[in-house]
Every structure is written in structure tokens, then in C-alpha cells.
Amino acid sequence: MNLSQLKYFTEVVKTMNMTKAATKLHVAQPSISRSIRELENELGVSLFIRQGKKLILTAQGNYFLR
């Protein structure tokens, strides 16, 4: 886990959209997606439910956010 992953995660939670988070952070959207997936793999949990472009924060994601 690194600081960028945490920063990306919190911005995605704020916007609930990876593209908007990437735009706000001035980063390419695939970098955000890859970073979130790596964070999920490291933690061994899903932080978001992905439904197309729609994101829903999981209970584990909400716990991690706190």
C-alpha cells in the first residue's frame, strides 16, 4: 500500500467515478483503476462493486475509508 493508492481511493469515494477522480487528480483513468485493483488485491477485499461505470462502496470499502 502506498500514499498514491490511498489518495486515489479517497478521491474515487468522493466522486464515485474513476474518470472524474482521474481528471481531478490529473492522472490517466487506467492508472486509477489499476491502483485501486492493486490495493484491493493487497487487502484481499473488494472496496467497490463495479456496475459498468457505476461504483458502489462495499462494507469493506466503507470500513477501510474510516
CATH number for the domain including 58?
1.10.10.10
pLDDT at 64: 97
- Contacts with 20 (C-beta within 8 Å, 6 or more apart), sequence order: none
Predicted confidence at residue 52, as pLDDT, reads 83
Q: What is the pLDDT of residue 31?
A: 96
**pTM of this structure:** 0.93
Number of domains in the chain: 1
pLDDT along the chain (66 residues), means of 10: 96 96 97 97 96 92 96
Q: Which residues of 24-42 are buried (b: 16+ CB within 10 A; e: fewer)?
A: ebebeeeebbebbeebbee
DSSP state string for 1-66 = --HHHHHHHHHHHHHS-HHHHHHHHTS-HHHHHHHHHHHHHHHTS-SEEEETTEEEE-HHHHHHH-
Look up the domain containing 14 and give its range: 3-65
Q: Write down the pLDDT at residue 2.
A: 95
pLDDT at res. 18: 94
